[in-house]
Structure 1
């Protein structure tokens, strides 16, 4: 006796109900992708990072590296008036190796992974390049900060220690410049849509944000009015650069179809914390400070500096969180995976060109 088996009608064209959390349930549904998905499931995995832990490492790395860049330039142009700023920047450079590196190693869950990254050096791997940038910066910044500390404790060694600190701060500034932006390049090299959609503007945002945070932190610690105003001016220029880069990135995200990933909790963090509190407010306060008395100007500058530092930290956290959201939502990842999204005339190479160059580099090795 035979029986007829009826195949289920559910297929990749249909969207099955999948569990979502409360934030996703309340999120407005404006999918840019109208084609099929695999039962409404994501084709990508979100990163295993803890947004706040890794975001804190990226922030501290950018703050330390950019601080050395700003102080080295200041020490070259104004060695006398910038003495306190240079000293503070050398000590601040230790934040990345002392606090940032343990956060990174802790989030790896297996400390041996960091050790294994030191066993190789690959010029085609952003992770490998970033590891050696961090290690190089740690060495040079450590020498510069150590020499500064010895000269303060042992005044008789001051001429020799000051010379050693000035020599070490130059390579520390060079590697610090890379430390402030390499993490954006690393994120852009992944398949996460929000990170990979703007591989040119994301490093600019990270670098400008790092300069703004470092200059703001040094301005808070600077007692001399003239030098403090110069540092606040540097921070304002960096914030304006970050703001413009953000506008360009917004257009890129809209064009790539990944902007809906911002309709989430971390999207609100970016809108309110980064753009509002970390960009618009500091720039507005700096502008108002031009027309007030000296005491009010200093107070407004301090508030603006705190806002810039906070916005820089939240930029990293929000970027990681929005990227994870873009990976979890299939309509975003499928839309971004279309070949026209990364044409050579827009942001980077096309997918076909990327694969061709990747295979060429692999065969060459």
Structure 2
């Protein structure tokens, strides 16, 4: 990460009645035109998929445990298979972004409590086999006791799996991620819940999908509410969420998530087709949110303004 000092350039701006500002508008840059922060080099599709699929997996494990406790076998099976498949694809996306599988394995050589990435790697290493054992036991119809235990353990880790990536992003110096550290885990929790509900609505029988419909509504309220609270509190560094491609992705996510939740609430009465439409909208909305958050963070790292101005405001407040 470079530590170049910022420079200023720009001309005065015309005011009302022909007056010229005495102090020119500041345009932030750094020596040699290099950004103050080194922007994330992660591949958008790999990391966006990793973020989305992890949320889907973690919330699906919770849904699977609830289905198991309430005797909804078809819902439980589809949630278990969804969790196992999603976490497998999430790990594949992570390894593909890292470039070589051994880079992931190298993170398991030590336990570092101060590193969200290290703890997240251990979390995935423990969680993924549990989801696969739970799904395999259910599909095979054997080892039911072991399968039930694996389902319960996966559900216990599910909330952490669904939200730890938010902690991972917020722990960086990227302005639009770091400034949202309070609310971003709740945004990702809601997004994971809507994704899991969407998968269940697509694949489970309508008469067993009641918990998925309720999860869709609660997840949508949490996701949209927490995201608006976050951007309303962040001030200047909320701008990247409201401009360009991130804005388009996030507005699309909000429409799809809210619309999908409304359709999900009505799907119990209207049959399979409406449930499928609702599930598709919820899955797409969750994916758009994760990718929009990722792209907004990259945009904030590219513009020195989002690093310099908040630092000066904090210094002035402390002084």
Confirm whether residue 83 of structure 1 aligns to residue 73 of structure 2: yes
CA spacing shift, 1:15–1:174, aligned 2, 3 Å: farther
Match of 1:302 in 2: 276
TM-score, structure 2 as length reference: 0.85
Match of 2:246 in 1: 266
More helix by share: 2
Decide which structure has the larger Cα Rg and report it. 1
Match of 1:5 in 2: none
Match of 2:166 in 1: 184
Deviation at 1:321, TM superposition (A): 0.7
Does the CA contact (< 8 Å) of 1:15 and 1:37 recur in 2? no
| Distance in structure 2 (CA, Å) of the matches to 1:214 and 1:35 | 44
2:290 to 312, 316, 336: 316
Match of 2:254 in 1: 275
| Distance in structure 2 (CA, Å) of the matches to 1:13 and 1:200 | 32
Does the CA contact (< 8 Å) of 2:261 and 2:282 recur in 1? no
Q: Deviations over 1:299-350 (max 9, x none)?
A: 3332222111111111111111110000001112212334639x9xxxxxx9
Does the CA contact (< 8 Å) of 1:285 and 1:304 recur in 2? yes
Q: Deviations over 1:258-317 (max 9, x none)?
A: 12213121221112x21122x232234346x38xx933x643332222111111111111
CA spacing shift, 1:15–1:120, aligned 2, 3 Å: farther
Flag structure 1 segments of 5+ consecutive residues without an equivalent.
Answer: 1-10, 17-32, 152-157, 344-349, 351-365
Match of 1:49 in 2: 42
Match of 1:145 in 2: 135
Match of 1:28 in 2: none
2:189 to 207, 211, 220: 207
Does the CA contact (< 8 Å) of 1:192 and 1:324 recur in 2? yes
| Distance in structure 2 (CA, Å) of the matches to 1:206 and 1:212 | 10
Q: Deviations over 1:16-73 (max 9, x none)?
A: 9xxxxxxxxxxxxxxxx94764356521111011111111112111111210111102
Does the CA contact (< 8 Å) of 2:183 and 2:227 recur in 1? yes
| Distance in structure 1 (CA, Å) of the matches to 2:311 and 2:275 | 44
Does the CA contact (< 8 Å) of 1:37 and 1:334 recur in 2? no
Match of 1:101 in 2: 91
Deviation at 1:178, TM superposition (A): 0.8
| Distance in structure 2 (CA, Å) of the matches to 1:230 and 1:106 | 34
Does the CA contact (< 8 Å) of 1:264 and 1:325 recur in 2? no
Q: How many residues are treated as equivalent by the alignment?
A: 297
1:70 to 63, 76, 81: 63
| Distance in structure 2 (CA, Å) of the matches to 1:102 and 1:203 | 23
2:220 to 231, 239, 248: 239
Confirm whether residue 217 of structure 1 aligns to residue 199 of structure 2: yes
Confirm whether residue 38 of structure 1 aligns to residue 30 of structure 2: yes
Match of 1:114 in 2: 104
Alignment root-mean-square deviation, CA: 2.4
Which sits farther off after the overlay, 228-237 or 332-341? Answer: 332-341
